[in-house]
Structure 1
């Protein structure tokens, strides 16, 4: 059975943006390259899934004929995005063929599929959920996800670990074993829904979530292992958690350090950026030398040349030279918002801690490189 409806173009485009990202581009199951559209009661329900991630969107529309359709998600999004006019009209016949009318004189025909073959949307009926500020939720993910492993074969590291501690507190943690990002959030109601051993949110799901979870307000996070549901406004985002155990990250965080360096964050970032001009994938190390309140930043690349800069810092210990992956330092500093940062060090082979000055809630750990 076909359907027909008219919808505001800008609203439809915004909904399809997330939908077409979730829909499979290349798949052995062709139906998953489509968006399922259910039209009834002057509203549309859009759904896309790749089995690991599912996205449901609800939006208002003028529905002339109630029914369902499955249309190619990416092509439909591109048509809507590039079309003129304020509204989009779509008519689906009984053979699942769709006609898309945009503006006054534009008309496109799309080959659809039988929506009956589309997987049914899954939804968790929450008994208890985490209610989180939307802006802060995105920020906590951003401050940790960059440190997750990009090696998909290491599934337990290719995401962000969430655990509850001391009652109403949460930790977001990510690591690729060379570096680590950790955010602590206190005073969150509903933390008891987080499994005792924690839970791993996969990289892909969080990247999609970052793209579409915009605006202000709350998100409602519900956990029913192995599924997690994040809901806001007229959007429901469901994904499967990583099946694996997150490593004991606490073992790489030194309980105490013997040296503390305080540096202007912006000046440090800019100096690292300039010295890194001679850094390549083959020679990616920068050396930091601390002595007499001066930080010397050095890079040496036999294939290209060398760079050196000095900036002021607060440090009165013995001279210390330590090497780091330049990219790891830059990415860590870019997620800290305080004017100054603290490097807490032991020696040139032990993990180094990076904090924003007077901010214990966000920690970065970087393993040194051999100089």
Structure 2
């Protein structure tokens, strides 16, 4: 294998694909990137068996062939190369010769035949959707994904079709908060299949969507979600688990309602969290017609209190909440104001976006 390509072209691709490769070193080949030169293009692929990504770039191919070298190390080498044409040539014992101008580096690799084979999806099994809509759905749910390894069935975004509307719903929860959003997208979900996209796959998908101006294709088959963008193919293995019945944690009706400036509310929560007790990170919120009192207390540091304006209807309510949960929701919304619905100080709080009736956030109260 021997190829030549501008440094910037190869660097941009490796920058996107290197984070997919396995860093746990469970199998040596999984930390490698596959380079496969054919005719006038180079195919690059990386995987950790839970997630896989591949792409192709047009370049000058002097001789066809394949190589497998450490993915992150190749990325770092190309990143530090001077501007110019990068020359890659496979040498004996799977070593890759990398040169640019007067720089020459040899990188040891493995036999490329060890690299896992991806099963290609049939084009008929995918449907087209707007990239910006999927990106927005991810932004409005990913912060609620559980980070604890033991909660494997909560460690991703649940994807389902809403029976009443036919819309696609993204749902995420870590047991303390929940976020869901519906959008009219086309996606076939096999009957009886629990679709949970793992966090790492969601993060990589979101990166790809940032570069897409129009549509992508996606589909669910063989236990994975396949996403095809203009330059990349992404294969996300579904989490092997059943997403919990989340509907029962959503309060039916909150008789006490507050409309507050989103930015003002978020900043008040950030200030209060600076002095919240690290043992439980709670902030006291008092809702009344006079405003929302935001207070925190830390025996070792001090305390804080402020009152922010609110349009409030209902009875006075005092509740202890984790400010980070409310800040995360406020950060992903776009409307100038945010709506909160409360029952009492011991029940979950509903958070809504006045400009998006298909979004819903739920935050559970803290108990001391």
TM-score of the two chains, using structure 1 as the length reference: 0.95
**Superposition map of 1:231-310 within 5 A:** 231-310=228-307
What SS class does the counterpart of residue 75 from structure 1 fall into?
Answer: helix
- CA RMSD across the alignment: 1.5
Q: 1:271 to 1:194 in 2, by over 3 A?
A: farther
Alpha-carbon contact 1:283-1:301 (below 8 Å) kept: no
User: What is the CA deviation profile of residues 315-369 of structure 1, one whole-angstrom value per residue up to 9, with x for unaligned ones?
Assistant: 1432211110011111111111110111011111111100112421111100011
**CA apart distance, 1:195:** 4.0
Residue 211 in structure 1 maps to residue 201 in structure 2: no
Alpha-carbon contact 1:123-1:238 (below 8 Å) kept: no
What SS class does the counterpart of residue 13 from structure 2 fall into?
Answer: helix
User: What is the CA deviation profile of residues 134-162 of structure 1, one whole-angstrom value per residue up to 9, with x for unaligned ones?
Assistant: 12212211210110110121111000000
1:170 matched residue in structure 2:
168
Distance 1:94 1:65 in 2: 15
Distance 1:133 1:12 in 2: 27
2:127 aligned to which of 120, 123, 130? 130
**Superposition map of 1:1-371 within 5 A:** 3-102=1-100, 104-165=101-162, 166=164, 168-186=166-184, 188-189=185-186, 191-193=187-189, 195-215=191-211, 216-370=213-367
Distance 1:65 1:358 in 2: 56
**CA apart distance, 1:31:** 1.4
Distance 2:132 2:248 in 1: 31
Alpha-carbon contact 1:56-1:121 (below 8 Å) kept: no
Distance 1:308 1:31 in 2: 55
**CA apart distance, 1:45:** 0.4
Structure 2 gaps, min length 5: none
What SS class does the counterpart of residue 362 from structure 2 fall into?
Answer: strand
**CA apart distance, 1:259:** 0.9
**CA apart distance, 1:167:** 5.4
**CA apart distance, 1:225:** 3.7
What SS class does the counterpart of residue 369 from structure 1 fall into?
Answer: coil
Alpha-carbon contact 1:24-1:32 (below 8 Å) kept: yes
